[in-house]
Amino acid sequence: MSVPAIAITNLRFAWPGSPDLLAIDEFKLAAAESLFLAGASGSGKSTLLGLIAGITPANTGEISVLGEHMDPARAARRDAIRASQLGVIFQLFNLVPYLTPLENVLLPLRFSPERASRLRDAGLCPHQEAHRLLDVLGLDGDGLDRASTALSVGQQQRVAAARALLGRPGLVIADEPTSALDHDTRDAFLSLLTTECQASGAALLFVSHDRSLAARFDRSVELDVINKAGGSR
Ligand SMILES: Nc1ncnc2c1ncn2[C@@H]1O[C@H](COP(=O)(O)OP(=O)(O)OP(=O)(O)O)[C@@H](O)[C@H]1O
Ligand SMILES: [Mg+2]
């Protein structure tokens, strides 16, 4: 059997000075599976994604991403795993404002030789692949050479998605990336995101308040159902 995209065991997490926020005994996302994670505002969805991405070290328990342990004691190792294996679309996109959209999309290749070599192995040129992703996500040539701050919020979301997908990461995690899109644009964005993940064999963990999107994923989970600390807040 292939290695799961995410494996969590006995995770406990509290922000400093706050009560337990997350207590997850067991959680798995299979390789190439797409999962919709719902939960009320403040229930800890973004916190959980930050732990999975290795941005926040876990207090106790174990988190593995594609078989690699996100060791709380090894920040540089977590950064390297994130750069190589994860595509992250944050709630606030985190585009580098003074770089153009194209430069933002190409950025992960600077931090991860693995991403660059996966593209090479697939016979893809980074620039062409960046243009293809921006194109399928509905951003044509216009404005791609301006500062990213000159884009609308919806356009910034699509640049963030193209950046996450470039270099075929094994896992894409997305934090409410459709909240600023209108209904039709949101539907198109979601189709493209799931299609691109399927095509490259990436697992997808997608967080949103909007439960009407759940049917588009292999599986959906309520955070409160897997989070034993949920009732204590
Ligand atoms: N960096 C931080 N430092 C301290 N507390 C934090 C931090 N980030 C989040 N929290 C707290 O953790 C709790 C969960 O926040 P989180 O952002 O994970 O929720 P969420 O489910 O993503 O909410 P939303 O749906 O509004 O995005 C909140 O009480 C929040 O105040
Ligand atoms: Mg959040």
Q: d(Cα 12, Cα 109) in Å, to the nearest integer? A: 33
Mutation test residue for ligand 1: of 13, 15, 22, 92, the one with most atoms within 8 Å of CB: 15
Ligand nearest to the CA of 37: 1
Q: What are phi and psi of 195, to 5 degrees?
A: -65, -45
Going by pLDDT thresholds of 50, 70 and 90, the confidence category of residue 185 is confident
Residue 1 lies in a domain: no
Q: d(Cα 229, Cα 223) in Å, to the nearest integer? A: 10
Tell me how many domains the chain contains. Answer: 1
Residue 30 has pLDDT above 70, yes or no: yes
Q: d(Cα 73, Cα 75) in Å, to the nearest integer? A: 6
Structure tokens at 170: 């094994």
Q: What is the pTM of this model?
A: 0.92
Mutation test residue for ligand 1: of 11, 46, 89, the one with most atoms within 8 Å of CB: 46
Residue 134 lies in a domain: yes
Closest residue by CA, ligand 1 atom 13 = 42
More confident residue, 230 or 197: 197
Residue 41 lies in a domain: yes
User: Mean pLDDT over all residues of the chain?
Assistant: 90
**E strands along 30-100, which residues?**
34-38, 60-65, 68-69, 86-89
Residue 142 has pLDDT above 50, yes or no: yes
pLDDT the model gives residue 140: 67
> How many A from CA of 216 to the centre of ligand 1?
26
Going by pLDDT thresholds of 50, 70 and 90, the confidence category of residue 141 is low
Q: d(Cα 138, Cα 88) in Å, to the nearest integer? A: 19
Residue 132 lies in a domain: yes
> How many A from CA of 175 to the centre of ligand 2?
7
141-146: which pairs have CB atoms within 8 A and are 24 or more residues apart? 143/101, 144/100, 144/101, 144/102, 145/100, 145/102, 146/100, 146/101
Closest residue by CA, ligand 1 atom 30 = 42
Residue 78 has pLDDT above 90, yes or no: yes
| Interval 46-55 mean pLDDT | 96
- Domain containing 121: what range? 6-232
Q: Are 35 and 219 in contact (CB under 8 A)?
A: yes
Report the pocket of ligand 1 as residue ranges, CB < 6 Å: 15, 21, 39, 41-47
3-state SS, residue 163: helix
Residue 108 lies in a domain: yes
Domain CATH code at residue 216: 3.40.50.300
pLDDT the model gives residue 232: 46
